Structure 1
Amino acid sequence: MIQVRIFRQADGRITGFDVSGHSGTACAGEDIVCAGVSSLTDSAYLGITEYLHRKVRSIDSSGKLQLMLEDRPDERTEAILETMLLGLTAIAEAYPRAVRITGEQSAR
Structure 2
Amino acid sequence: MIRITIYKNSNGSNVGFKTSGHAEFAEYGKDIICAAVSAITINFVNSIEAFTNDRFKIKTGDGLLKFRFQKEPGPESKLLMDSMILGLQGIQNDYKNEYIQIIFKEV
Question: What is the TM-score of this pair, normalised by structure 1?
Answer: 0.92
- Structure 1 unaligned residues grouped into runs of 5+: none
Identity %: 27
- The correspondence of residues 10-89 of structure 1 with structure 2, limited to 5 A, is 10-27=10-27, 29-89=29-89
Q: 1:100 & 1:77 partners in 2: Cα distance? A: 23
TM-align CA RMSD:
1.3
- Structure 2 unaligned residues grouped into runs of 5+: none
Q: Quote the residue 1:101 is aligned against.
A: 102
Question: How far did residue 83 of structure 1 move?
Answer: 0.3
Q: CA 1:28/1:103 → structure 2, altered by over 3 Å: closer, same or farther?
A: closer
Number of residue pairs the alignment of both structures matches: 106
Greater alpha carbon shift after TM alignment, 23-32 vs 13-22: 23-32
Q: Which runs of 4+ in 1 moved over 3 A?
A: none
Q: 1:59 & 1:74 partners in 2: Cα distance? A: 21
